[in-house]
Amino acid sequence: MSSKCIILFDNNPLGVYYAGQEVSGTAELVTTRPKTVRGILIRVSGFAEVRWTENITKQDTHGERQKAIETYSASEIYYSNERYVYGQSGGTQMELPAGKYVFPFKAIIPPNAPTSLNGAWGQIHHEITFVIDRVMRYDNIFKQPYTVIVPNDLNLNPSNAQPLHKIDEKTFCWSLCCGNQGPMVMEVKVPYASYTPGQKVRFNIILNNQSEVHCSDVKVRLMKKVVYTSRSPETKTKETINKIADNHCGEVIKRNKAEFNEYLQIPSTIPTLINNCNIIKVNYTLKFIAKVSRIHTDLVIEFPFTIGTFPVYANTAINEPITSQPTNNFSSSVAPFTYEEDLRSEQFESNTFKPRYPVFLNDMANNTVTASSPDNNLYPTPYVIPKTPITYTTNPTAPPSMENTAQVLQVQHEPAAKTNNAEQPALEVLGFSLPPGYEPTPTVGSTTSTNIGWK
């Protein structure tokens, strides 16, 4: 084991970014013995992929039916930018002396990059990849994933501030036979149609059970539906539906009436995802269930439900809607929030990374937030580009026969030329240097991946 790499993010120990922000950090390489390499590159990328298998029956070349396993898959690449920081692709063999090296990097995440997701049959993944291009050997590859979030201010759509209200009833067969028995009637009220993780969804339920059927429990559930779409060998969908949160309110016996004023707290979960990714969609449903015996069907009321990244303001329902994402600052009257790992434990194949999503910390009575003068920053502070160019010295130096390569490394890196493709911003590598007395930064559990380590 001769190489170890730790990838850290600048002023962002959790590695959480919003689409359109700049991701920057350092890749710290430690080698215990010289390595023969062609070059070293850093890649910043974001992509989505889905894959699953199904047992099918199809005809072989002789027309006979036989069982087979079919793999359905699809992928999308949103950005992939790489730059050699030492040597070059397919370059001349050179020796990398043993030692410690620091490679700073930075790149812009495209504004249309989708929110990170690790699901059962697919993933939306963003990562930093550090590759040591070896000669006549397998490359040394180190990876560090990070979370990308698409800002979704719920105030941009006035319908998010509209209350939910519905009345439904169910007549059971016993009531039809008896003739003089009434239906089971449920009325549900919720203040808003959209919330953010951490908020308490307060609800009012009135269940008027005029029937002869016992209601054993009134349940409230937040359900998450993820739809995966394949492109090969054909377009096909596969979906998962999971319970994110629930509340058991209580029973209502026959010929009785009950009212429940309770709440459902939303845990850390991915915001609603319907744009930016064509092969993975995420939406939510809020369900109210009056549970009855198995010989009958339950009385159910459902609402489409939106999960955002910033909650509804107190005055959204009566004032003009806000028309831009909240990129400015907000006062301390805004509920504090943190970034917590996804509640769900499902994962795509061997990917164990859990994205983090914004979770508001306090109760936020009446589910309202007010905006005020600048004080606290809602989003992570972007990395500030230095005003003067960063220079560096060649460390390590190439063998005498590699003079041309060494000269290339001594040149200051200029910003990459602009292209017409806004979705592929260039990765800018600032070079590398070894400060006197430099020691590796201790690994922080929440910022490093199990994919990073000795190779």
Same domain as 348, residue 207: yes
Residue 449 domain-assigned (yes or no): no
Domain housing 251 = 158-172+181-315+337-359
Residue at 192 is within a domain: yes
Rounded CA-CA distance 434/98 in Å is: 13
419 in a structural domain: no
pTM of the model: 0.77
H helix or E strand, kind and range, residue 139: none
**Do 265 and 143 belong together in one domain?**
no
- Count of the separate structural domains present in the chain: 2
Same domain assignment for residues 117 and 166: no
pLDDT tens across 411-433, in order?
Answer: 333 333 333 444 455 554 444 44
Residue 131 placed within a domain? yes
Q: Say yes or no: 244 and 354 in one domain.
A: yes
Q: Is residue 323 part of a domain?
A: no
In a domain, 450, yes or no: no
The pLDDT, as a whole number, for residue 369 is 45
Q: What is the model's pLDDT at position 250?
A: 94
Q: Could you tell me if 38 and 107 lie in one domain?
A: yes
For residue 379, tell me if it sits in a domain.
no
For residues 139 and 270, membership in a common domain is answered with no
Q: Report pLDDT for 3.
A: 85
Residue 277 inside a domain? The answer is yes
pLDDT value for 340? 96
How far apart, in whole angstroms, are the C-alpha atoms of residue 77 and residue 263? 40
Residues 207 and 346 in one domain: yes
206/121 same-domain check:
no
Which is it for strands 35-59 and 122-134: parallel, antiparallel or unpaired? Answer: antiparallel
The per-residue pLDDT for 178 is: 55
CB contact at 8 A, 200 and 227: no
Strands (E), 92-234: 94-96, 99-108, 117-118, 122-134, 140-149, 164-170, 184-190, 194-195, 200-209, 215-230
Residue 414: the pLDDT is 37
- Does residue 189 share a domain with residue 120? no
Confidence (pLDDT) at 427: 53
- Low-confidence residues of the chain: pLDDT under 70: 1, 174-180, 314-335, 362-455
SS3 155: helix
- For position 120, which CATH number holds? 2.60.40.640
pLDDT of res. 383: 33
Q: Would you state the pLDDT for residue 93?
A: 85
Same domain, 138 and 164: no
3-state secondary structure of 4: strand
Cα-based distances in Å from 347 to 99, 125, 200, 368, 453: 37, 12, 27, 34, 21
User: For residue 37, what are the CA distances in angstroms to 88, 92, 332?
Assistant: 10, 9, 52
Domain identity same for 140 and 203: no
Same domain, 12 and 142: yes
